Amino acid sequence: MSVHERKERERVDRHRLIVSTARELAETDGWDAVTTRRLAERIEYSQPVLYSHFRGKNEIVGAVALEGFAELAATLRAAVPEVPRGRDTVAALARTYTDFAAGNPALYDAMFSLDNGLPFADEATPAPLREAFDLLLDVLGEHAHPDEPGLFVETFWAALHGLVTLTRAGRLPADRVHDRLTLLTDRFVPRQDP
Amino acid sequence: MSVHERKERERVDRHRLIVSTARELAETDGWDAVTTRRLAERIEYSQPVLYSHFRGKNEIVGAVALEGFAELAATLRAAVPEVPRGRDTVAALARTYTDFAAGNPALYDAMFSLDNGLPFADEATPAPLREAFDLLLDVLGEHAHPDEPGLFVETFWAALHGLVTLTRAGRLPADRVHDRLTLLTDRFVPRQDP
DNA sequence: GAGCATGATCTAGCGACGCTAGATTGTAGG
DNA sequence: CCTACAATCTAGCGTCGCTAGATCATGCTC
């Protein structure tokens, strides 16, 4: 019986190896460089092995994206203190979000730009993603009045995402990134607000 | 001499044919379906003629994107009245922008999501693009205080772009699109504002 | 008007892509 | 020891963007 267990263990290890290798490759050379051939070569297996773990390349991207959601949720949580949750906390959260995106561009692409086959805004939304959203909801919700908290968070998040993607694509000048972020935060959570 | 002129005319016609065919193909079947082979077949020429007009596929996308910028600028201009430029005008502008994106998804992708080789936020920025931005600046600028108008417009635009892309990618529920837009407008140009 | 040179256009092919069928290898159980 | 099964690989399919070299048509020279 323990033979099966060993094989299963090796399988899990290889699964992790594929995901982490794909992520490394994407982070150093971009997702265009993550081809099934290169990936197979890096993990020192043949191409078809990848397809015994994932239905296709999309699913590999999805696995990396899942890691990203978990890390994003953890990073955001670490940036939010227990007690005071005023404008400063929102600003810190926004800053943490954009810093995360800027610091992990390939990861961010896997999460939000590439086709990763993951369900969104759906009952099957992955837990870490829902968790990150709930954290935003928690911090931002009290500033939403008279808006609905859900809509408020969605819109704020979309604005952050827009800033991130347009800046990364060179559509917005790279300087003043911080100023735009401050402006956005001010508009959603005015300074005189409690 | 007029032989050269005729040839040049034919060349210009073919150039336009390539761009419009690429655009149609993208709008009906998505940009993934726009391959050099299919495109060549549609215009009833061989593949290499494409490369006598454009340096590569990116440049074809760029040509379609340029059309898009011109149309977007014209559409936005048509939505802006001469005289009253209060909150309602901003709301109409925002609505026009997202409607344009939703109504021309492939065009919008060419402009902002795909690699089209066009320069942005740069002295070489294409005129129609600069024009559209200036229009936004014109309408939004007076609501920017105490923010800098440029930053204000960039941030508002980024927010619109974020809403558009996340909605299109299924990351935001498709209903309530209009409500999010209203919320965004309210936050950038409060209702009691002149 | 015949022959040539030039430029436009095509055929054919390169290397790389995602993905898969079928051969091959290794291993567990009778 | 042998068989049967599962894991893994080799090889290849159809497609992609792009290009070298052959071919064709056309206007120019004598």
The answer for A30, left when phi > 0, alpha when psi is -120 to 50, beta otherwise, is: left
**B183 contacts A156 by C-beta, under 8 angstroms:** no
- Per-residue tens of pLDDT for chain A, all 194 residues: 465 666 777 899 999 999 999 999 999 999 999 999 999 999 999 999 999 999 999 999 999 999 999 999 999 999 998 776 789 999 999 999 999 999 999 999 999 999 998 887 676 788 988 999 999 999 999 899 888 999 999 999 999 999 999 999 989 999 999 999 999 999 999 987 55
Question: A117-133 pLDDT, tens per residue?
Answer: 888 767 678 898 899 99
Q: Does residue B193 carry a pLDDT above 80?
A: no
Residue of chain A minimizing CA distance to B164: A158
Give, to the nearest 10 degrees, the angle between helix B177-188 and helix A149-168: 80
Select the residue of A155, A172, A173 nearest B183 (Cβ to Cβ): A155
- Chain A, window 134-153: residues with a beta carbon less than 8 angstroms from a chain B beta carbon: 147-148, 151-152
At residue A82, the pLDDT reads 78
The pLDDT-based confidence of B2 (bands split at 50, 70, 90) is low
Select the residue of A165, A172, A188 nearest B165 (Cβ to Cβ): A165
User: Choosing among A130, A148, A161, A189, which should be mutated to test the B contact, i.e. which has the most B CBs within 10 A?
Assistant: A161
Residue ranges and CATH numbers for the domains of chain A are 1-54 (1.10.10.60), 63-194 (1.10.357.10)
Closest CA to B31 of B111, B151, B118: B111
Closest CA to B131 of B74, B52, B182: B74
Single-letter code of the amino acid located at B151: L
Q: How far is the CA of A56 from the C1' of C18 (A)?
A: 8
Helices (H), chain A: 2-29, 36-42, 47-53, 57-79, 87-103, 105-112, 127-140, 149-168, 177-188
Cα separation, B92 vs B85, whole angstroms: 10
Mean pLDDT value of segment B157-186: 96
Q: How far is the CA of B35 from the C1' of D22 (A)?
A: 25
DSSP string computed for A138-189? HHHGGG-TTS-HHHHHHHHHHHHHHHHHHHHTTSS-STTHHHHHHHHHHHHS
**Mean pLDDT of chain A, nearest integer:** 92
At residue A78, the pLDDT reads 95
Mean pLDDT value of segment B152-160: 97
Which residues of chain A does B160 touch, with a Cβ-Cβ cutoff of 8 Å? 162
B49 touches strand C (CB under 7 A): yes
At residue A120, the pLDDT reads 77
Whether a cis peptide bond, with omega within 30° of 0, leads into A81 is no
Question: B87-139 pLDDT, tens per residue?
Answer: 999 999 999 999 999 999 999 999 999 999 888 766 678 898 899 999 999 99
Which nucleotide minimizes the distance between its C1' and the CA of A34?
C17
pTM of the predicted model, to two decimals? 0.93
